[in-house]
Amino acid sequence: MLNRIIDGAFDSPWLVWIGVLALIAAGVQAVSDVPIDAFPDLTNNQVVVTTDCPAMSPAEVEAQVTYPIEAAVMGLPKTLEIRSISKLGLSMVTIVFDDSVNT
């Protein structure tokens, strides 16, 4: 069976070229039909509140900046998680929302 296919390819090379061109055309058509959003954004909806607090220790940043921000956003609807980090002169509060929320 394979020998007949190989012999047929040698006997009519124009048919092989037509097949190759058909495969190339099908590939170009498939690539052009792929939607632009081929790789959707799989990250969760989140907002990061970054606050610069120069000359404050991490304990002061936590008490005077991070905790009040956390308390203020605690009651937001469709909130899944609130994370925070307080460093020397920097406060970062991350609020993760449900996927149905537009951010």
The pLDDT assigned to 36 comes to 72
CA 70, 74, 79, 80 dihedral sign is: positive
The token duo for 77 is 């609807």
Residue 62: name the closest of 41, 32, 93 by CA: 93
Per-residue model confidence (pLDDT) at position 1? 86
pLDDT score at 57: 92
Residues of the chain with pLDDT under 50: none
What is the spatial distance between Cα 57 and Cα 64, in angstroms, rounded to a whole number? Answer: 10
**pLDDT for 33:** 85
Coil, helix or strand at residue 21: helix
Locate the domains of the chain by residue range.
2-33, 45-97
Give the Cα separation of 54 and 61 in Å (integer): 9
> What is residue 101's predicted lDDT score, i.e. its pLDDT?
83
For residue 69, what pLDDT is reported? 95
